[in-house]
Structure 1
């Protein structure tokens, strides 16, 4: 979620609350309507038993303590026991069911968010900082639980209590009940205002939480650079500013919450005081009736106080819900055609027909590029940084879609086949190494999790990785750490290459696949890659031209345009862009040596 997305998602409370609540009920509550109905029934029973307790005070005082009636002396204690037992059982079921319901909401929301985001466009993921997405997973999902399991259902529970207790008050004395009910609208208006403040503060504090998570992610990942440049104090100051800003917004929420309950309690106390004064002056009311009424009135203001607090929590949850729904509503641009067919690769010939592509309106990456990689041959993309090499590589597995033109494999437009079948036929090794915090075995088998150890070891041997793996304490079961931090750059690269080898796909995409290797390892890898590339269509990006001299065809790119193509010898003979690039690189390597 970018900053602009976060700011746009700041809700307008009155305009969006009803819409959000309807969507929450439809998407989060409806799947659990069975267990929730049982929980609501338990709530109603608890509320009824609370009202019954108030009702029992009248016969207890008038009949038991005042009249000393033997019948009521026997009946009232039995009724109290029944009320207490029933309330206790209902409270148990209410508590367990609602806790499970709340945790289920968090789990379902996080799973749903992850499934949606992992399928999102690569471009969108690159534009969205991982720290802010993680903050949404951790904090927004929790606030959503508060909104549903505690606020919405809590409001139902407290409303049950209020209804039953109000009924008791009207049954006792309808005039006094009207006095109590006059106060209700004032409490409602106050809590509504406080709820608005809480929602606004919650939205802003969550935005700041995303920024703080971003700072943590960046500085922990880049700790080496922070220390190398002596920027510890600067990063501490950035973190302090973010934390203090977040605290300011949180305190606005805290103050709104803290004001809700005392306001309701104060107004309720005024009503009770009026009742005591009028009741004490009356000669027609019995002590039992007055006591039961005051108990019911005091009990009724407890759910009113809870409703005041729950409303502020609901507003925080609705702010979180709006952010979550904003993420879930983002639709990927890279989508399968309605009748997408399964790709069948016979030779693996790759063709770009008049392809143009822009990352943004003012940033053209490719301009009318047409090229063909023959089936089973090795082709190379060369050119200066920013020439469009990686863009072409990204268009083949549909990480991006061409703005104009077509990308085909064996004559099949990649936009007309299923993504799963397209990517199943492609193995990628990128200069951006990605290893997961798992065993070496699991990392090599990532593209083929069903592979046995023999196949994994064979791939590792071809990638010149087997020897160093066996030298590790746990061998293939060694954990590599976060993004392979426990391994050297060359070791990580060889594991990534072993993963591609095990994939055994008919098309290989190699983006600087040997960039992190020493000379000896590179020699071994190049030999293994040569063997692997036999019979497979291979497209290679290489900055070191010495690694692509043997390519069947070399494509030379310059500022998104294809300017030359041919073999190494043909391009040198033309004395054009490739020859100049080769001469410059050769001279630089000679100077270094």
Structure 2
């Protein structure tokens, strides 16, 4: 068994935290300022209640316990209880407001990201593994959600609590406050350095998570081939390496994250010891009452927790900012294939398709897939593209609905350059049936109606009948309401293909693109579907790609492609008479069967 290569982790950009926070606040937080104002009001109540508790310690000790003033016992007790009630209610209100608003913000980001990806080019999805994109919606969004909730709470509740408690401390003893406030901030410098490390580790962790999700998706979807080639152990080794790398990164992140608390514990302990020694000496000397001293100590102890949370907040925030950077990187990738401003609607009158000197090259390929490629598909005709694998057949088909754009040359429909018309109108006039059947985890009815969700059941049934699918659909447990499973895995290959053909029939577009549309059908189903397709193609412009040449012998015109150019053209009979490339392909197919 060959050594499993380490996964490739693409580099991630790192925008400044201030830039990312500004974008979050301006774009996503601003619409909810009213809710945040209410949350801040709750935080003010909670912070004031916390400071009041520290202040109430002084009369409890000095007036009740030292002076034994019984008349103040109940009023102070009631005041303490009211303070706790105010603190509890404000904490609940603030938590609900922050949580629901944070969820709304994250939901807005997810919705915008999904809509943005739906407008992305096909090349974008070829360049970004599915698992990486899913990781943006799951792990990255989870980190961002936690960071948003923590930062909103921290910068609101914890800072307000510190301000109120510092006010109590300064009121009790300005000099003692200065001692405590000098020690605490000294912990923020090393924690700030930890935060920068945390962002880098978090970026690497999420990149590895995307790789791991991609591997899982590929293996689970291709499990049939994994077993057929006895590659279980190979895939297990790949998973082992990815899991070990991910575990190592998560452990490193945990170590970095955990260092902040010990630093704050030590610095907090130093501050409290200093206060106890200095303040205790004042109590012993009689220059300070026990109540004022313990009130000050209470304020310091109460301030310790929000100070520690604020110190940890920068570490959490950097994790969230690394996630935000990756999410925004996707949002910032603009689609290259778009409708130009003021683009006109495509008007299909006859349905002529013309390629004129078209050149196209994939970014990952060393030579053009099509070079100075020209051909004409007459209105209402059935034209077939044939040729060896890699000759450019599928590329030519994909250029018509603008899945990709030509590098040079033009493609026109009824004289209209497809780059000058609105993409929606272009694709509305094109029906596509591919050898790669895409069914969604929904009902048979929903899959046939995909593209025409408003279609009636009668129209759906008619389309299914014309695709030779109605009979097997009727035999399904719930008929047209039967779920087809993920990628249609509850159906056979031929059944999936017939549903895809029914979908194209329901769309009823004037231009039809068939890419090995009957490749997965048995002989009987193919006969039925070919008859249905013949009916569908009548009066429509149809481009057919077929590896089985027997399926396109009745084509009005056949183009034979080789190395991205038209090598031969003619009818089946004329091409066979030429004895060229097409005839050799026919002979090879006959020998193979």
Q: Provide TM-score, normalisation by structure 2.
A: 0.95
Counterpart CA distance in 1 for 2:550 and 2:405 is 31
Shift of 1:557: 0.9
Counterpart CA distance in 2 for 1:208 and 1:104 is 28
Asked if the contact 2:355–2:411 (Cα under 8 Å) also holds between the matched residues in 1, the reply is yes
1:273 maps to which residue?
273
1:571 maps to which residue?
575
**2:518 paired with 1:514:** yes
Q: Deviations over 1:428-459 (max 9, x none)?
A: 00001111111111111112111111111111
Q: Which stretch has the larger CA shift, 220-229 or 141-150?
A: 220-229
Matches within 5 A, 1:554-569: 554-569=558-573
Shift of 1:78: 3.2
Counterpart CA distance in 1 for 2:71 and 2:56 is 14
**2:328 paired with 1:305:** no
Matches within 5 A, 1:340-489: 340-360=343-363, 362-489=366-493
Alpha-carbon RMSD: 1.7
Between the two proteins, the alignment pairs up a number of residues equal to: 584
Counterpart CA distance in 2 for 1:74 and 1:498 is 81
1:287 maps to which residue?
290
Stretches of structure 1 lacking an aligned partner (at least 5 in a row): none
Match of 2:542 among 530, 538, 541: 538
Q: Deviations over 1:521-579 (max 9, x none)?
A: 11111111111111111010011112111111111111101122222222223333222
1:500 maps to which residue?
504
1:33 maps to which residue?
33
Matches within 5 A, 1:161-200: 161-200=161-200
Matches within 5 A, 1:64-213: 64-69=64-69, 72-213=72-213
SS at match of 1:163: helix
Matches within 5 A, 1:3-22: 7-11=10-14, 16-22=16-22
Asked if the contact 1:152–1:314 (Cα under 8 Å) also holds between the matched residues in 2, the reply is no
Asked if the contact 1:54–1:293 (Cα under 8 Å) also holds between the matched residues in 2, the reply is yes
Asked if the contact 2:102–2:148 (Cα under 8 Å) also holds between the matched residues in 1, the reply is yes
Q: Which stretch has the larger CA shift, 93-102 or 136-145?
A: 93-102
2:249 maps to which residue?
249
Shift of 1:301: 1.2
Counterpart CA distance in 1 for 2:230 and 2:555 is 45
**2:335 paired with 1:332:** yes
Q: Which stretch has the larger CA shift, 162-171 or 74-83?
A: 74-83
Q: Which stretch has the larger CA shift, 561-570 or 518-527?
A: 561-570
Shift of 1:71: 5.6
Asked if the contact 1:268–1:301 (Cα under 8 Å) also holds between the matched residues in 2, the reply is yes
Asked if the contact 2:9–2:211 (Cα under 8 Å) also holds between the matched residues in 1, the reply is no
**2:537 paired with 1:524:** no
Shift of 1:233: 2.0
SS at match of 1:514: coil
2:3 maps to which residue?
none
Asked if the contact 1:369–1:562 (Cα under 8 Å) also holds between the matched residues in 2, the reply is yes
SS at match of 2:368: strand
Shift in alpha-carbon separation, 1:5–1:497, aligned structure 2, 3 A: same
SS at match of 2:78: helix
Asked if the contact 1:122–1:400 (Cα under 8 Å) also holds between the matched residues in 2, the reply is yes
SS at match of 1:342: coil
Counterpart CA distance in 2 for 1:64 and 1:316 is 49
Shift of 1:275: 1.4
SS at match of 2:569: strand
Shift of 1:6: 6.0
1:230 maps to which residue?
230
SS at match of 2:16: helix
**2:531 paired with 1:549:** no
SS at match of 1:352: strand
Q: Deviations over 1:2-21 (max 9, x none)?
A: x999643253xxx6111111
Counterpart CA distance in 1 for 2:333 and 2:502 is 35
Asked if the contact 2:450–2:503 (Cα under 8 Å) also holds between the matched residues in 1, the reply is yes
Counterpart CA distance in 1 for 2:89 and 2:8 is 46
SS at match of 1:473: coil
Match of 1:585 among 581, 584, 589: 589
Q: Provide TM-score, normalisation by structure 1.
A: 0.95
